[in-house]
Amino acid sequence: MIVALAGGVGGARLAHGLAARLAPEDLVIVVNTGDDFEHLGLHISPDPDTVLYTLARLADRERGWGQTDESWHFMAALGRLGGETWFALGDKDLALHIERTRRLRNGDALSQITLDFAAKLGVAHAVVPMSDDQVRTIVHTDEDALAFQDYFVRRRCAPVVRRIEIVGANKARPSPGFHAAMQSPQLTGVVICPSNPLLSIDPILAVRGVRAWLENRNFPVVAVSPIIGGKAVKGPAAKIMTELHLNVGVRGIADHYAGLIDGLVIDTQDETEIATSPALAIHATDALMRDDGDRRRLASETLQFLATLSAP
Amino acid sequence: MIVALAGGVGGARLAHGLAARLAPEDLVIVVNTGDDFEHLGLHISPDPDTVLYTLARLADRERGWGQTDESWHFMAALGRLGGETWFALGDKDLALHIERTRRLRNGDALSQITLDFAAKLGVAHAVVPMSDDQVRTIVHTDEDALAFQDYFVRRRCAPVVRRIEIVGANKARPSPGFHAAMQSPQLTGVVICPSNPLLSIDPILAVRGVRAWLENRNFPVVAVSPIIGGKAVKGPAAKIMTELHLNVGVRGIADHYAGLIDGLVIDTQDETEIATSPALAIHATDALMRDDGDRRRLASETLQFLATLSAP
């Protein structure tokens, strides 16, 4: 059994590839909830929804978020009423937010709700929020401390990042599905998907016990680089790494995950940047996922590479 | 200045006619909130929304509720998730419910929110919920006590009504706009719109001080009958009046409002049922509102009739 750690679009795409290669009982996709927030009185879970939509083949491929064939009548009507429209919520998308919010208020756990949504949307593989406890990513910038979506959507990542804080993580317990996977004797490896290491993966690692679980692992861990050709495929990873004076290339990814991973999948463009060392094996390939074929191929290669690795 | 008491579709239509005949400063439309309810975690205000949509010319004329040119993508997506779909919420309609719920949680009063919505939707006349305090109409039936929407929408008015209870009304204060209108020296009359007397108007009359205000009036009150040709134009008024062993025709309307009204507008079809008496003047006309012209005409006739009446 494989545990995949995932955040937004890149993570969802590799998770989709992994789901095409592994039986439902052999894969647990653990998703970042640090980006979750309350908006218009609704609990929005951007990363879990992106993973759900991607696996259900409902994700919009152009936009990179939300559902395909979406309509925006709610948004237009809200704008007419003078409501907040900086965070776009499609009409179909709203159904998840309203039903999730209703069930959370009813006392249901986020992870149970997400599993139920997955089942209803025809997703056979386990999509597991990292925690049912509240974790919120706060981006400290040169202007202000911003809630993640304020930074990411409202401010379009413009402010210079000084520090990223993951509020609540030290008190957050892994969700039951994640906890069970962490403890499972069937666990044979972990894949860190090509998501933003600072914004998408760090919140998962910050959940109580997760970093120690990886540090003391008796299974191999492989990360897939979200940086290709020295740039982030999507999103602000490279910009933020620069602002935090981190090495932006695949070297920076390796440094960031030092001690936590045994192998790193990189693009052939970046092969000159890093070589296999005793501490870290490198697999270079075409790491860009343009279509479903790429997702499956990269997933296959990652799993095969993982099978060659062993715990430190 | 005229105060109009209104509930659902019939009330909204006459209110629309009155708004075409009176300047914004000369009309206050007080709307039933006994039908309000929490659904999917949202605060739904069916009657205020029907009045708003009608005055904003956004109301769907076929359906009798909701907005025209509405789409139902949210509803379909909610159904796919296994959510409750018995109460239809259109994509545009949702904007009001979500924004209202957000503002109520924020501490804003329902009446202020409604006024703001009216302004944004281009409604110049005051649309005033009867109270900012919670009032809930409960329909006691031969099967069970049902919240209004459960009776009206989910059960389609099928159960036999034994008693109607208006919970919270004795503690509910008139909303600021209603209270100001009640106290206004400019007040020259009250129009009770052709809404269901038991379900739409009684909740307004049950708000603290409202019945006494009408009983001790120094201004005339006219009601427009929602019963035409012995039948309710729309909705379950006649069915419920029968079940409660009330006189179903215009006689029943006159009996119901006895002591509160000085005049009653009825349809010419019902002229044989009731005649002007010392206690109650009758004006017979074509009381069916098929189109905007009918709304304006009935409003004009009602206002002219009201001008001939005096307080008892």
CA distance B94 to chain A (A): 6
Residues of chain A with Cβ-Cβ distance to B91 below 8 Å are 71, 73-74, 77, 91, 94
**B227 residue type, one letter:** I
Residue B77 to residue A98, Cβ atoms within 8 A: no
pLDDT over threshold 90, residue B54: yes
Secondary structure of residue B209 in the 3-state scheme: coil
CA B288 to the chain's CA centroid: 16
Residues of chain A with Cβ-Cβ distance to B43 below 8 Å are none
pLDDT over threshold 90, residue B234: no
Q: Which of A167-181, B29-43, B123-137, B240-254 has the lowest mean pLDDT?
A: B240-254
Residue A94 to residue B117, Cβ atoms within 8 A: no
The CATH superfamily holding the domain B2-60+108-308 is CofD-like domains (3.40.50.10680)
The CATH superfamily holding the domain A2-60+96-308 is CofD-like domains (3.40.50.10680)
Helix (H) or strand (E) holding B112: helix B110-120
The per-residue pLDDT for A228 is: 94
Residues of chain B with Cβ-Cβ distance to A102 below 8 Å are 40-41, 83
B311 within 8 A of B262, measured Cβ to Cβ: yes
pLDDT over threshold 90, residue B162: yes
Q: Which residues are bridge partners to A27 per DSSP?
A: A2
Residue B78 to residue A91, Cβ atoms within 8 A: no
Q: In chain B, whose CA is at the least distance from the CA of A98?
A: B40
pLDDT over threshold 90, residue B64: no
Residue A40 to residue B98, Cβ atoms within 8 A: yes
| ∠ Cα A159 A162 A164 (to 5°) | 100
Chain A within 8 Å of B259 (Cβ-Cβ)? no
Q: Which two tokens stand for residue A147?
A: 């809630």
DSSP B186-198: T--EEEE-SS-II
Residue A81 to residue B41, Cβ atoms within 8 A: no
* For range B97-121, the mean pLDDT: 97
Residue A98 to residue B83, Cβ atoms within 8 A: yes
The per-residue pLDDT for B305 is: 98
The per-residue pLDDT for B21 is: 98
Residue A95 to residue B80, Cβ atoms within 8 A: yes
* For range B263-290, the mean pLDDT: 96
Q: Which of A144, A116, A146 is nearest to A35 (CA)?
A: A146
Q: How many CB pairs under 8 A join A and B?
A: 102
CA distance A49 to chain B (A): 13
Residues of chain A with Cβ-Cβ distance to B122 below 8 Å are none
Say if residue A197 is exposed, middle or buried (CB neighbours under 10 Å; 0-12, 13-18, 19+): buried
Chain B within 8 Å of A122 (Cβ-Cβ)? no
Q: Which two tokens stand for residue A27?
A: 């894969």
Residues of chain A with Cβ-Cβ distance to B105 below 8 Å are 41
Length of chain A: 312
**Rounded to an integer, what distance in angstroms lies between the CA atom of residue B99 and that of residue B310?**
43
**Out of B78, B91, B101, closest to residue A73 by CB:** B91
Quickly list H helices, B225-282: 237-243, 250-256
Maximum CA pair distance of chain B? Answer: 61
Chain B within 8 Å of A93 (Cβ-Cβ)? yes
**Out of A70, A78, A117, closest to residue B81 by CB:** A117
The mean pLDDT value of chain B amounts to: 96
Residue A94 to residue B71, Cβ atoms within 8 A: no
Work out the pLDDT band at B138, boundaries 50, 70, 90.
Answer: very high
pLDDT over threshold 90, residue B208: yes
The per-residue pLDDT for B194 is: 97
Quickly list H helices, chain A: 9-21, 46-55, 73-80, 91-105, 110-120, 148-149, 176-183, 202-206, 210-215, 237-243, 250-256, 292-308
Secondary structure of residue B138 in the 3-state scheme: strand
Contacts of B70 (CB under 8 A, 6+ apart): A73, B60, B90, B91, B92, B93
Chain B within 8 Å of A107 (Cβ-Cβ)? no
Question: What residue ranges do the domains of chain B occupy?
Answer: 2-60+108-308
Half-sphere exposure of A64 (CA within 13 A, CB side): 11
The per-residue pLDDT for A234 is: 83
Secondary structure of residue A25 in the 3-state scheme: helix
Beta carbons within 10 angstroms of residue A56's beta carbon: 18
Secondary structure of residue B164 in the 3-state scheme: strand
Q: Which residue has the higher pLDDT, A51 or B234?
A: A51
* pLDDT tens, N- to C-terminus, chain A (312 residues): 999 999 989 999 999 999 999 999 999 999 999 999 999 999 999 999 999 999 999 999 888 889 999 999 999 999 999 999 999 999 999 999 999 999 999 999 999 999 999 999 999 999 999 999 999 999 999 999 999 999 999 999 999 999 999 999 999 999 999 999 999 999 999 999 999 999 999 999 999 999 999 999 999 999 999 999 988 888 888 899 999 999 889 999 999 999 999 999 999 999 999 999 999 999 999 999 999 999 999 999 999 999 999 999
**Out of A41, A93, A120, closest to residue B98 by CB:** A41
**Rounded to an integer, what distance in angstroms lies between the CA atom of residue B247 and that of residue A298?**
77
Secondary structure of residue A194 in the 3-state scheme: coil
CA distance B154 to chain A (A): 19
Residues of chain A with Cβ-Cβ distance to B123 below 8 Å are none
Chain A within 8 Å of B124 (Cβ-Cβ)? no
CA distance A87 to chain B (A): 14
Residues of chain A with Cβ-Cβ distance to B77 below 8 Å are 67, 91-96
Query: For an interface test with A, which of B52, B57, B74, B115 has the most A Cβ atoms less than 10 Å from its Cβ?
Result: B74
A93 within 8 A of A67, measured Cβ to Cβ: yes
Chain B within 8 Å of A23 (Cβ-Cβ)? no
Residue A83 to residue B92, Cβ atoms within 8 A: no
Residues of chain B with Cβ-Cβ distance to A104 below 8 Å are none
Residue A91 to residue B74, Cβ atoms within 8 A: yes
The per-residue pLDDT for B117 is: 98
Fill in the DSSP letter of residue B141: E
**B301 residue type, one letter:** E
Query: For an interface test with B, which of A45, A94, A97, A106 has the most B Cβ atoms less than 10 Å from its Cβ?
Result: A94
Chain B within 8 Å of A78 (Cβ-Cβ)? yes
In chain B, which ranges are E strands? 2-6, 27-31, 37-39, 42-44, 126-129, 136-141, 145-147, 161-167, 189-192, 221-224, 227-228, 231-232, 263-267, 281-285
In A212-275, which ranges are E strands? 221-224, 227-228, 231-232, 263-267
**Out of B76, B95, B102, closest to residue A77 by CB:** B95
Chain B within 8 Å of A95 (Cβ-Cβ)? yes
Residues 36-55 of B with CB under 8 A from A: 40-42
CA distance A97 to chain B (A): 10
Strands A161-167, A136-141: pairing is antiparallel
Chain A within 8 Å of B107 (Cβ-Cβ)? no
pLDDT over threshold 90, residue B61: no
